[in-house]
């Protein structure tokens, strides 16, 4: 599914499309609608950079089983486990 953000909304908020996606990602993460991995991917950032952004805004990181399992899968794929 694609969501189109009208140019007038971007203009009204004085945000770029990337900034809007970032703000949506942060909001959905805070509301626990997206996991850390999903939110960082939606924002177009790596997970560590997204975590730093959250920390700079004093937003606590909730790390759940899905995040842990994804980290294990990634480590196995990289040959580090």
* pLDDT tens, residue by residue, 32-54: 999 888 999 999 999 999 999 99
Residue the block writes with tokens 């959250």: 54
CB 25, CB 53: distance < 8 Å: no
Q: Report the b/e string of 60-78 with b at 16+ CB within 10 A.
A: eeeeeeebeebeeeeeeee
pLDDT of residue 10: 94
Q: Quick one: average pLDDT of 2-26? A: 94
Give, in order, the Cα–Cα distances in Å from 12 to each of 4, 20, 48, 56.
15, 12, 30, 25
Domain ranges of the chain: 7-77
- Is the CB of residue 70 less than 8 Å from the CB of residue 37? yes
Residue 67 has pLDDT above 90, yes or no: no
Dihedral (Cα; 46, 48, 50, 55), 10-degree rounding:
-170
């Amino acid at each position: 599914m694609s969501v189109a953000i009208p140019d007038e909304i971007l203009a009204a908020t004085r945000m770029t499309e990337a900034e809007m996606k970032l703000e949506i990602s942060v909001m959905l993460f805070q509301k626990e609608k997206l996991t850390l991995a999903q939110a960082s991917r939606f924002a177009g950032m790596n997970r560590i950079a997204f975590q730093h952004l959250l920390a700079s805004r004093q937003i606590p990181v909730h790390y759940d089983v899905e995040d842990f399992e994804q980290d294990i899968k990634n480590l196995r794929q990289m040959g580090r486990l």
